[in-house]
Chains A and B, each alone.
Chain A
């Protein structure tokens, strides 16, 4: 039984791979998943800090004074759509269509970059209006939580650009497929974190 499996191999493009490397890739996905889970704990700590400090406005503005609901909804829809287009990139990989993988990854990166740009301009508007992170405990925790998420999204966009370049140059190789899989996990994970920022920080903040 064992020997018959050992002789199996997998062909992707021109690469022929022994079964051991598939097991290694499975471990890679699980390892990356564990990284995401620890990142989840990081965000949970920041959420806990925010939840504790959200009332400590120190005479400064509260959430309902500074949050702009339609703006936040636009950001949310941008990020949600980018999660969907990231899925479309994976589906294109499933169909082995390099052109569409590159196209949908490009759209995803563009949506992600627009999200980061909107968030930066929001932060810029707040800081320029004298509502910076040093104003109160509430604002320190707000900027830390939302800023950490924004930093993750920005890094995700950079990763996506690097990966797209690699796919354009080398095609849908096994290494690129693995990275595409990991990147999609990362991207969907960030969308999930945003659900809670949207709900706890913004929707609960404006009331």
Chain B
């Protein structure tokens, strides 16, 4: 009976592993995520770094945690059962990157070229009541 359920999940590409490996991946994922979250928290709250290296470290920690959770919780790896989902994720990540980096790139350049400096713009906005 249990085997049938296991086979069912293997068949739909969910759990290409046995119970022990699966349980281990959840525990490892949870512990690693917890550690990474606490490291990020301490680094940010105690201001262990200057502003720009801090941003790099925080974003890298988020990236590592993203990979940990994708592998341990969503069980995405190169196994054939999850290959299609991995490819879809890769394609979407390209779109996400273009969307976020592109927006930031365009808008910061726009600000640089259109505005005298941020504080003057802030003053202007307030004088005009945001219109």
Contact = CB atoms under 8 A, between A and B. Distances in A.
Contacts of B85: 29-30, 33
Contacts of B34: 77, 80
Interface string A178-207: 100100010011011001101110011011
B115 to A, nearest CB: 11
A96 interface: yes
Nearest to A73: B41
Contacts of A203: 40-41, 43-44, 58
B100 A44 contact: yes
A49 B43 CA distance: 26
Contacts of A195: 33, 37, 62, 65-66, 69
Nearest to A44: B96
Interface in A23-73: 25-26, 28-30, 33-34, 37, 40-41, 44-45, 47-49, 51-52, 55, 57-59, 69, 73
Nearest to B88: A37
Contacts of A96: 1-2, 5
Contacts, number: 162
Nearest to B91: A37
Interface of A: 10-13, 22, 25-26, 28-30, 33-34, 37, 40-41, 44-45, 47-49, 51-52, 55, 57-59, 69, 73, 76-77, 80-81, 83-84, 87-88, 90-91, 93-96, 172, 174, 177-178, 181, 185, 188-189, 191-192, 195-196, 198-200, 203-204, 206-207
Given A59-B126, A192-B69, A91 B37 contact: no
Contacts of A87: 26, 29-30, 73
Interface string B67-83: 00110011000000000
A101 to B, nearest CB: 11
Contacts of A47: 100
Contact of B2 (A55, A94, A185): A94
Contact of A199 (B6, B62, B70): B62
A69 B44 CA distance: 9
Q: Which of B14, B55, B61 has the most chain A CB within a 10 Å cutoff?
A: B14
Residue from the set B15, B34, B47, B96 with the largest chain A CB neighbour count within 10 Å: B96
B8 A10 contact: yes
Interface in B9-35: 9, 11-15, 19, 22-23, 26, 29-30, 33-34
Given A10-B7, A195-B69, A91 B96 contact: no
A173 to B, nearest CB: 11
A30 B84 contact: yes
Given A51-B104, A207-B54, 6 more contacts: A22-B8, A33-B85, A41-B99, A73-B41, A87-B26, A87-B29
A30 B44 CA distance: 37
Given A33-B85, A48-B99, A58 B125 contact: yes
A196 B62 contact: yes
Contacts of A90: 15, 22
